[in-house]
Chain A
Amino acid sequence: MTFPGGTNYAGYFMAAASFLAFAYTLNNGNHIRVNLLLGLMGKHRRWGEVWCFAVASALAIYWARYAIKTTYWSYKLNDISQGQDATPMWIPQSAMAFGTVVFAIALVDNLVRVTLVGTHSAASRQIGD
């Protein structure tokens, strides 16, 4: 029994599952980072977090901007998958565009909160909680 293009579809769902979950993963504190320096900053840690969120927000906005552009041009140029599935590429790619936009919003949200109030929801947590 074969399912033509099955591997391509699996790949699209893999990408969608990843991109759509970026923001959720961030707010659960599961994205990995190097905590060493932040830990040493003690009571100044907040400003370290501001730097991290600022850089991360800028990068995520850039990422989202080009994810939208890539998806838009796939749609505009009617880019079709090379595989047996022959899917128009903009359909799976829009999950990437949407997911990265939400991720950027989540980072900016945390940036604003950590700058003004000093709290954020991306604190690292252990596995198995």
Chain B
Amino acid sequence: MEELYLVLIFLFVLFLLLGTGVWVGLALFGVAFVGLELFTTRPAGDAMLTTVWSASSSWALTALPLFIWMGEILFRTRLSEDMFRGLSPWMAKLPGGLMHTNIVGCTVFAAVSGSSAATLTTVGKMSIPELRNRGYPEYMIIGTLTGAATLGLMIPPSLTLIVYGVTINESITKLFMAGVIPGLVLAAMFMGYIVLWSIFRRGEVPDIGLGVGFLKKIVDSRFLIPVILLILIVIGSMYFGFATATEAAAFGVIGSLLLAAGQGSLNWQTFVASLLGATRTSAMIALILGGAATLSLAMGFTGLPRALAEWIDELGLHPFSLLMALMVFYIILGCFLDGISSVVLTMAIVETMVRQAGIDIIWFGIFIVVVVEMAQITPPIGFNLFVMQGITGHDMGYIARTALPMFAIMVLMVFVLIAFPELATYLPENIRQR
């Protein structure tokens, strides 16, 4: 019985520190300290710092700052203008017209950046004013963009997947490969929604005139071709086993520097700004990871993960029910925490549970990313909603309502993933080994 009180105190401290607004990484560090003091007699500080050091100096983690930097470089180029100009001739003939540039633009930028906020800002900067000028309805512009920007978390390089892989000690390359097909399927489902909209709300689709010839299309999208090449090199080199995730990221950085230089948007200011931006984001994640490493050390001593896993085993819960419960849990958690924090905070407990239930841990990574993506567009704390508010000035409630159909599509995506797990497991199982 005494154990139960200790666990309750431990969880109380967790909610107290996180809830009152102590920085997530430090809060996790503090909770771990309390946990170690409560459950063990050994000196907490030394054990915690040994754990922090090995977690912070791991080779697998080095892919993180490089991919962040790559996104930061491209974020500061003319990519967003080029993207709209290059994509729109190809999209004009589709039912729903230029609205598709939102989805395809997000998909392309998601493949060079791991963050959904950067994806949203880059694509939105150009496509929102252009689509408004052509008379597309505001709720569709805002909704599709807010939803599709979450693809940044799923399509490699994905910061959430790197953090997930580092936390559970699995290959980041495998996780990246697992994200490719589900990301494309989700993008296709978003586009399907736009097609349905154009059929049922025919009156809302403005007439944008005839498409242009094939040659003109190629000429218009010539600036996009280097970006597509860069994506193919980064993802291809990992798939064919030429490069580890970190090496592929380094190629990506060199490629994006060349691309920025070729466009003439690389100067000393943008170079420094991209480097500082990458430093801040990666230090932010490193603090969370450092704190989370101590927390999972402490969690081990509380016996909580094992007890929960055994309890779920005794219940004889079907994996499907477990996944449904976890989905609801993460959506609620995501109302208060950002994606990366909720992944590292919970994996200390959830990993044991999931492995015990016989769920593929790589597949689960994709599952968790879809669920965390949903949390990005739900109030009161949806990160994409904040960013969108910053860009358009609409209030959060309105943006959240426009993104509701996208939320429903993501829920559907969870069921698609459960029904066809091969979507996520096929590519990682077939990576070339060299």
Contacts and interface: CB of A to CB of B under 8 A. Distances in A.
Interface of A: 7-8, 10-15, 17-19, 21-22, 24-26, 28, 30-38, 48-49, 51-52, 55-56, 59-60, 62-63, 65-67, 69-70, 92-93, 96, 126-128
Interface in B43-89: 45-46, 48-50, 52-53, 56-59, 61-62, 64-65, 75
Given A18-B282, A22-B287, A52-B20, A32 B59 contact: no
B279 A67 contact: no
30 contacts: A7-B59, A13-B62, A14-B58, A14-B61, A14-B62, A17-B282, A25-B283, A30-B280, A30-B281, A30-B283, A31-B25, A34-B24, A34-B336, A36-B21, A52-B22, A55-B17, A55-B22, A55-B26, A56-B26, A59-B22, A59-B33, A63-B26, A63-B29, A63-B52, A67-B49, A67-B52, A69-B46, A127-B117, A128-B75, A128-B121
Provide the main secondary structure of the chain A interface: helix
A66 B62 contact: no
A30 B19 contact: no
Contacts of A128: 75, 117-118, 121, 387
B302 interface: no
A35 B287 CA distance: 18
A34 to B, nearest CB: 6
A2 B15 CA distance: 47
Given A126-B117, A127-B118, A128-B118, A24 B57 contact: no
Given A11-B62, A14-B65, A35 B21 contact: yes
A67 B294 CA distance: 13
Contacts of A37: 19-21
Contacts, number: 154
Contact of A24 (B26, B45, B279, B390): B279
B53 A96 contact: yes
Contacts of B341: 32
Nearest to A29: B280
Contact of B246 (A10, A18, A21, A55): A10
A62 B58 CA distance: 23
A101 B345 CA distance: 25
A104 B419 CA distance: 49
B357 interface: no
A13 B290 CA distance: 15
A122 B58 CA distance: 28
Contacts of B58: 11, 14
Given A7-B59, A10-B246, A66-B45, A17 B337 contact: no
B48 to A, nearest CB: 7
Contacts of A60: 26
A119 B26 CA distance: 21
Interface string B315-353: 000000000000000000000111011000000000000
Contacts of B26: 55-56, 59-60, 63
Contacts of A22: 283, 286-287
Contacts of A48: 20-21
A62 B33 contact: yes
Contacts of A12: 57
Contact of A11 (B59, B337, B340): B59
Nearest to A70: B49
A70 B210 CA distance: 69
B287 A10 contact: no
Nearest to B61: A14
A117 B50 CA distance: 38
Contacts of B30: 55, 59
Most buried by A among B26, B56, B337, B380: B26
B284 interface: yes
A85 B394 CA distance: 55
Contacts of A32: 23-25, 284, 288, 338, 340-341
A30 B45 contact: no
